[in-house]
């Protein structure tokens, strides 16, 4: 739909002055980089000692789809927090919509293949799958 590759993961955002105030575009990580770090905003990232963030990897197809969903949901959430304070930032709004739509699409795909993540899922028309799969604290979605 939109091509944001020119904005993310390369020089466009990185080269802007680090600043989290209103009139400057923040520099952004890609959803993958941002999710691993717990921070989509490169200008806000502060590491601890020499610890490096875990590079999350999927062991199978189910995990890969789940990881992709988690990355885009996180990226959309980060932009949501930013847009709460800067609703007039149309560049970020467009990127938010891109990540939001991608999240919805991945959510539907995951639920269709592996069962519901929300009780409003369309995947329950024939049987009540909500209580079937493992719960998050038991390693649900991680098999």
Q: Which of 46, 49, 73, 68 is nearest to 58 (CA)?
A: 68
Q: Which is nearer to other proteins, 3 or 17 (CB)?
A: 17
Report the distance separating Cα 126 and Cα 64, nearest Å: 27
Q: Which is nearer to other proteins, 3 or 120 (CB)?
A: 120
> Token match 């993958």: residue?
32
Q: Which is nearer to other proteins, 77 or 100 (CB)?
A: 77
Q: Are 120 and 112 in contact (CB under 8 A)?
A: no
| Residues found near other proteins in the complex (CB under 8 A) | 20-22, 35, 37-39, 41, 44-46, 48, 51, 53-54, 56, 66, 69-70, 74, 77-78, 80-82, 84-85, 87, 116-120, 130, 133, 135-137, 139-142
């Amino acid at each position: 739909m939109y091509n944001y590759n020119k904005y993310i993961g390369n020089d466009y955002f990185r080269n802007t002055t680090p600043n989290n105030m209103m009139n400057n575009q923040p520099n952004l990580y890609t959803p993958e980089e941002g999710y691993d770090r717990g921070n989509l905003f490169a200008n806000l990232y502060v590491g601890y000692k020499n610890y490096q963030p875990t590079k999350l990897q999927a062991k199978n197809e189910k995990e890969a789809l789940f990881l992709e969903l988690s990355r885009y949901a996180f990226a959309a959430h980060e932009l949501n927090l930013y847009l709460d304070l800067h609703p007039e930032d149309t560049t970020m709004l467009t990127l938010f919509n891109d990540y939001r739509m991608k999240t919805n699409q991945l959510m539907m795909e995951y639920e269709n293949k592996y069962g519901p993540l929300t009780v409003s899922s369309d995947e329950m028309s024939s049987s009540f799958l909500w209580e079937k799969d493992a719960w998050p604290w038991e390693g649900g979605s991680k098999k």
